């Protein structure tokens, strides 16, 4: 059974609630997670609930009970449009993370080549610092992509493509360190394009 979690963007909204608002939201969240098995739809509903709670000057009233309150929330939003919008935003996030991951991954590969050849762009310590920062940024965006893949319960093809791409790029960077021709960046770009297409197809 797929577990449903509160998405980070909703978790940020939750942090802005006061104690009374938080208590109300937790009751709604418990109900929605129990009755809505689609994590995307559940979080879209909860996002609307959070917006309503934050905008209301008084505690949310539920004269007809929790079930009717949640049904009213669902009626107030166009689920089809919200799903389409959410998927588009997720594709945009995946694309941006992919670009950052590709560029920063290449910087790391360049530094590895510099270690092998002993020739540094500026100085060892400076190049090392740049490589460490690039590695951190690349890792951060890989985690973002991983979270998107798991959020939509997609196949592991994307993660496999990204892993194989970097391994191949690393292998080529090492064996071709002394060569004036470097195709490791091309390999990373191909991997990025392939993973992007798979994500867009499966989402």
Q: Which two tokens stand for residue 72?
A: 């009213």
Rg, the chain, Cα only: 23
The ranges of the chain with pLDDT < 70 are: 1-3, 57, 63
Reported as a single tens digit per residue, the pLDDT across 22-78 is 989 999 999 999 998 888 999 999 999 999 988 886 777 776 788 999 999 988 898
Query: Residue 168 is inside which H or E element, if any?
Result: helix 157-175
Q: What is the pLDDT of residue 189?
A: 96
Q: Where are the alpha helices (DSSP H) in 58-179?
A: 66-76, 79-117, 124-151, 157-175
């Amino acid at each position: 059974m797929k577990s449903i979690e509160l998405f980070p963007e909703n978790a940020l909204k939750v942090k802005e609630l006061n104690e009374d608002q938080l208590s109300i939201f937790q009751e709604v969240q418990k109900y929605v997670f129990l009755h809505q098995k689609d994590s995307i739809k559940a979080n879209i509903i909860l996002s609307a609930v959070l917006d309503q709670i934050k905008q209301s000057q008084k505690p949310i009233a539920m004269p007809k009970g929790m079930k009717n309150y949640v049904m009213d929330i669902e009626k107030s939003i166009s689920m089809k449009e919200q799903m389409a919008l959410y998927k588009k935003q997720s594709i945009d996030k995946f694309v941006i993370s992919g670009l950052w991951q590709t560029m920063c991954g290449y910087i790391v590969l360049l530094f590895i080549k510099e270690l092998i050849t002993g020739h540094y762009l500026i100085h060892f310590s400076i190049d090392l610092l740049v490589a460490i920062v690039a590695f951190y940024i690349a890792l951060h965006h890989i985690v973002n992509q991983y979270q998107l893949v798991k959020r939509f319960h997609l196949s592991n093809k994307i993660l496999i493509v990204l892993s194989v791409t970097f391994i191949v790029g690393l292998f080529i960077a090492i064996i071709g360190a002394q060569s004036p021709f470097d195709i490791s960046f091309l390999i990373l770009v191909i991997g990025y394009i392939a993973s992007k297409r798979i994500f867009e197809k499966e989402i």
